Copies of this chain bind each other. A is one copy, B any other.
């Protein structure tokens, strides 16, 4: 499929006329053809109006019908073949294998939500029978969850497929019954167009109402602000910087009708190296850490940016092994020149902090935008008194904090801001210390993992990719995994509604075969 530089507004492919932008190949720091036309206010209005117009019909599509729509999107993405991967490689600097893996993840995510839609647990169907004899009599009460309305989705730079146009936010919003208006990420415009056309083709092929999906192209922040401000938009999904997320939160809170924002922002993902784990095999742990740190140029929300251990010969051995292993890592191209610049500045800021020393560096790597990995170290007091050491630096840099004792570890666990993940490396002998850390980490993080590294976020029912502020704007949610659908739902109660007007999910005969809570007891399908 030819890349035309178009956006998608309902059933149309539209060439914007408010100027042009081009994607950039970060490996060459050079623009890639074609130019992409920028949306005017009128196009934004049209996308939002279509979304609002599609909403009532789309949210009442049958479960099977909606599931097939999601599956059709998945198939259409696969059908794009190597052209999609090639364009994504050129725009992101990410290697082929990684993008093929990410495409698999994107497709599996859509298929998981198709299963979630069919299962219907998300509807939360609940029935309380009328009690006409009671004093006072109780009405017939039935509850279901419905979609909140059109959702604005802002794709992430670091997952041009899995967290972008047809990524987790879009898949879960469509699954919930919400039309989606995507603001394309300027770093991967061609990839976005290809995927948006795959979604559009599925929407038309599955006879979904026009406006269930649109994708706008804009430069700068205005279009995003306008989108979040638009009265038709009822919720927002965003993955990106703390600065960007906070800006959207402010806009959403200041609307005439404030709306929720699900922003996944900043996390340094502390990793606790407990004594038993260090004693067991410090060198192997060091290698696994260096691999996780540098994976994909460290461009993951779950990159291990903070390491904590208690001063000991074993920790020294670990540090020495890191210092030995990291120089073997050759820098690879980052997603954009801007991200590379900001990473380099972040490393310089880290290096300039009082009490912080360089532990190890990777090799610079080829090309204009290759990230040189770096690990710094400091003691616990330095960390506790230096707020800047908690700032996420997106890329392969990390800080090892040498603690005096277990109390230091606990103090730091209590001190850090909210996180997407917290990791413990522990052996049987570390049980008591791990048990002391766990309740603190439960308060701080959305995911707690043992003896692994936080990179690699499984798309599953039990996944949580979320956490207390500032890792996200809303700790009550996840943006990865089946529960992500819950973000875009709200409950509605039907009191004494005549049988012929009840939605099928709440009909007494249970025609959808749902698991339902009836008079307080769960009745499986």
State the A residues within 8 Å of B (CB): 55-56, 60, 115, 119, 121, 124, 126-128, 136, 138-139, 141-143, 146, 148-149, 249-250, 253, 257-258, 260, 417-418, 426, 431, 434-435, 438-440, 442-443, 445-452, 456, 458, 460-464, 466, 468-470, 473-478, 481-483, 489-498, 500-501, 515, 517, 519-520, 522, 524
Contact = CB atoms under 8 A, between A and B. Distances in A.
B446 A493 contact: yes
Nearest to A146: B442
B520 A115 contact: yes
A141 B460 contact: yes
B434 A517 contact: no
A146 B444 CA distance: 12
B492 A483 contact: no
B496 A452 contact: yes
A199 B258 CA distance: 35
A223 B242 CA distance: 30
Contacts of A258: 249, 469, 473
Candidate in A121, A442, A446, A478 with the most chain B CB atoms within 10 angstroms:
A442
Nearest to A121: B522
Candidate in A452, A492, A493, A501 with the most chain B CB atoms within 10 angstroms:
A493
Given A128-B462, A450-B498, A476-B490, 16 more contacts: A56-B443, A115-B520, A128-B458, A128-B463, A139-B449, A139-B452, A142-B462, A143-B461, A249-B253, A257-B468, A258-B469, A434-B501, A466-B491, A475-B490, A476-B489, A477-B491
Contacts of A497: 448-450
A451 B492 contact: no
Nearest to A141: B462
A522 B517 contact: no
B143 A501 contact: no
A517 B452 contact: no
Nearest to A57: B439
A143 B491 contact: no
B469 A517 contact: no
A438 B520 contact: no
B492 A448 contact: yes
Contacts of A522: 121, 515, 524
A520 B450 contact: no
Contacts of A426: 498
A49 to B, nearest CB: 14
Contact of A495 (B126, B452, B519): B452
Contacts of A476: 148, 260, 489-491
Given A442-B146, A517-B461, A494 B260 contact: no
A10 B478 CA distance: 34
A466 B490 CA distance: 9
A496 B143 contact: no
A462 B519 CA distance: 9
A126 B517 contact: no
Given A56-B439, A478-B491, A431 B501 contact: yes
A380 B501 CA distance: 26
Contact of A143 (B136, B477, B483): B483
A257 B446 contact: no
A520 B461 contact: yes
A121 B524 CA distance: 13
Candidate in A447, A456, A492, A517 with the most chain B CB atoms within 10 angstroms:
A492
A435 B493 contact: no
Contacts of A440: 56
Contacts of A520: 115, 119, 461, 482
Given A448-B493, A476-B148, A492-B445, A460 B138 contact: yes
Given A431-B500, A524-B522, A492 B464 contact: yes
A193 B481 CA distance: 45
